[in-house]
Amino acid sequence: MTSSIDFLLPMSQYRFEQGPIRPPSEASSLLLRITRNCPWNRCEFCHTYKGQKFERRTVSEVKEDIDRMKEAALEVKALSWQLGLGGEVNPILLHYLFQPSSSQDDALQSIGWWLYHGGKSVFLQDADSLIIPTKEIVEILRYLKETFPTIERITTYARGKTISKKSVEELKALREAGLSRIHIGLETGYDFLLQYVKKGVTVREHIEAGKRVREAGLSLSEYVILGLGGKKMWREHAIETAKALNQINPDFIRVRTLKVLKSMPLYQKIENGDFILLNEDEIIEEERLLIENLDGITSHFVSDHILNLLEEIEGKLPEDKGKMLAVIDRYVSLPEEERKLYRLGRRLGVFRSLNDLLNRELREEVERVFKEIHSHPSRDFDQFVSSLMESFL
């Protein structure tokens, strides 16, 4: 058996577009680009699409991509047979697709990864796919499911502003065509803060959008940015966000921790002193206030992002609220040096839960770095930890 994928298959180029981001929960999903970039693109806490022009892709363009994806899937299967794997997409096949010496294009790797995970989920890109006419999305969804009958779940990002303008009937049509879940960036339920960070939507519109998604029978994920209130508005951010979520009752509440890069417009407000960042312990206090005020809902609270300090704060409301608050209380009760050690371990990617502090091997690994930092008087601990977080954006 040869170790070169290029010997087994002809040089094929299956070019289909894929955008820059997707939710962590869609890591094994096939990415299908419906629009390019973001139609709003003014949020001050975001840098992803800055300087990029928003474009709507035509139905024919998207269908052509779906056809190329099908061709790529057939070639991946053919490679499996040539390797003697009987058409199965397994770790051996992935090794050939992703080996550094492979000259295969990203398309085969993307399709191979998707098929390895079952070929069951698809994520529609980019930031606001549902801004295009509903009938066009329906046509795309139907063609996608006809081409890949194994698909069981199709999800997408959408702006609350966009959804608030779609009728429940339109959303039901999307569900019937195959759409399963909509991810919406609520960010905050505090109207003044929404204006401050130029989100371009009101709390009322967010609530209306969320309610319509739920009424249409679609799964709904609402995203909240921890720390977005800064030192001036953290309390209002937490309380008002909880109020909005209580009215929406989404299937999922997914939290993300604010990290401001120099390329983000919000950085200028930090530079001129108008916005003052919370430290990580203060963000945890804000998160506690948010959870405390979530009431009368049945949402899953999810902390599925590496920027979140306490990833283990997860659970089903209302029954797991006490358990989630207990995680926060445990962290807060730690001595300062232990909290700093955990923060470092988390940002190094070594720690994933507070129990990891008790793991001797992991702890020693983090302590070595901790001592190295403090052996240099000129090195600031907080700045070092902050710089580690930048690598995750």
80-103 pLDDT, tens digit per residue, is: 999 999 999 999 999 888 887 555
The whole-number pLDDT of residue 105 equals 66
The whole-number pLDDT of residue 101 equals 59
Distance between CA atoms of 142 and 153, rounded to whole angstroms? 13
| Alpha helices for 155-292 (secondary structure H) | 160-164, 168-177, 191-196, 203-215, 230-248, 266-271, 280-292
The whole-number pLDDT of residue 243 equals 98
Note the CATH architecture for domain 5-334.
Alpha-Beta Horseshoe (3.80)
Rg over CA atoms, the chain:
23
Query: At how many degrees (to 10) do helices 203-215 and 230-248 cross?
Result: 30
Q: What is the pLDDT of residues 130-185, one digit of tens each?
A: 999 999 999 999 999 999 999 999 999 999 999 999 999 999 999 999 999 999 99
Q: What is the pLDDT of residues 144-153, one digit of tens each?
A: 999 999 999 9
Report the 10 Å Cβ neighbour count for 263: 12
> Per-residue pLDDT averaged across 265-269, rounded?
96
Tokens for 294, please give them.
């979530």
Q: Which helix H or strand E contains 96, and what residues bound it?
A: helix 91-98
Burial-class residue 158 by CB neighbours within 10 Å (0-12, 13-18, 19+). Answer: buried
Predicted TM-score (pTM) of this structure: 0.92
The whole-number pLDDT of residue 374 equals 87
Residue 63 has pLDDT above 90, yes or no: yes
| Residue 144 near residue 194 (C-beta atoms within 8 A) | no
The whole-number pLDDT of residue 102 equals 53
| Percentage above 70 pLDDT, the chain | 95
Q: Which helix H or strand E contains 316, and what residues bound it?
A: strand 315-316
Residue 347 has pLDDT above 70, yes or no: yes
The whole-number pLDDT of residue 8 equals 44
Q: Where are the domains of the chain?
A: 5-334, 335-393
Report the 10 Å Cβ neighbour count for 178: 20
| Percentage above 90 pLDDT, the chain | 87
Distance between CA atoms of 90 and 262, rounded to whole angstroms? 41
CA angle in degrees (0–180, nearest 5) for 21-209-239:
85
The whole-number pLDDT of residue 264 equals 95
The whole-number pLDDT of residue 5 equals 40
> Per-residue pLDDT averaged across 283-303, rounded?
98
Which position has the higher pLDDT, 269 or 97?
269
Which position has the higher pLDDT, 327 or 1?
327
Q: Which helix H or strand E contains 107, and what residues bound it?
A: helix 106-116
The whole-number pLDDT of residue 10 equals 43
> Per-residue pLDDT averaged across 372-392, rounded?
87
Query: CB-based contacts of 227: which residues, under 8 Å, 6+ apart?
Result: 234, 257, 258, 277, 278, 282, 283, 286
Residue 12 has pLDDT above 90, yes or no: no
Average pLDDT, the chain: 93
Q: How confident is the model at residue 313 (pLDDT cuts 50, 70, 90)?
A: very high
Structure-token match 């779609």, residue found: 166
The whole-number pLDDT of residue 190 equals 98
Residue 9 has pLDDT above 50, yes or no: no
Tokens for 316, please give them.
């089903």
Q: What is the pLDDT of residues 203-217, one digit of tens each?
A: 999 999 999 999 999
- What DSSP designation does 307 have? T
Q: Beta strands of 15-117 (E only): which ranges? A: 30-33, 35-36, 55-56
Residue 377 has pLDDT above 90, yes or no: no
Tokens for 364, please give them.
């020693």
According to DSSP, the β-strands at 181-187 and 153-158 are: parallel
Distance between CA atoms of 346 and 357, rounded to whole angstroms? 10
Residue 349 has pLDDT above 70, yes or no: yes
